[in-house]
Amino acid sequence: MGKGHSTKLYLNVFLILLALTIITVVLARTLHFSPEISIIVALTIATVKASFVIWYFMHMKTESKLLWIYAIFPVIILGILVGGVFLDNPFRDNPTPITAVAPK
């Protein structure tokens, strides 16, 4: 029972994660996306990888509802933070260019 099956599952998850890493690198090195698209592609693949780690390696698959709530809560707070920052900034003046002010 369990034993062989489970280690094999972990191995498969690791191989999938490795494959996704190679896909990220190849996509970024070969295709020339616009800055917006490239960050969305990178974040999407990273989130898929993170889900595999959380689901299988961190055993979220079998955890209780309570733990799920506590795991998802900070993600929502983070969304509010990032969302707030980006709701605010587009309505401001253009950024001042980084001026070269060498100390001393």
Partner 1 sequence: MDTHTTTLQGPPHVHHMDSKTAYESAKFGMWLFLATELLLFGVLFAAFFLYRWKYLSEFEHAALQLDWKFGSINTAVLLFSSFTAALAVFYAQHNDNAKVRLNVLITIGCGFIFLIIKAIEYYAKYKHGYFIGTEHFNNADMIQKYKVYFGLYFCMTMLHALHVVIGMSLLFWVYTKARVNRFSEAYFTPVEIAALYWHLVDLIWIYLFPLLYLVK
Which of 3, 65, 87, 93 binds partner 1 (CB under 8 A)? It is 3
* Nearest distance from C-beta of residue 68 to partner 1, angstroms: 10
List the Cα angle 30/86/91 in 5-degree steps.
115
Can you tell me which residue has the tokens 């996704």? 20
Residues of this chain, 17-46, that bind partner 1 according to CB under 8 A: 17-18, 21, 24-25, 28-29, 32-33, 35, 38-39, 42-43, 45-46
Binding residue for partner 1 (CB under 8 A) from 30, 65, 66, 91?
Answer: 66
Cα distances (Å, whole numbers) of residue 14 to 33, 58, 61, 75: 28, 13, 16, 24
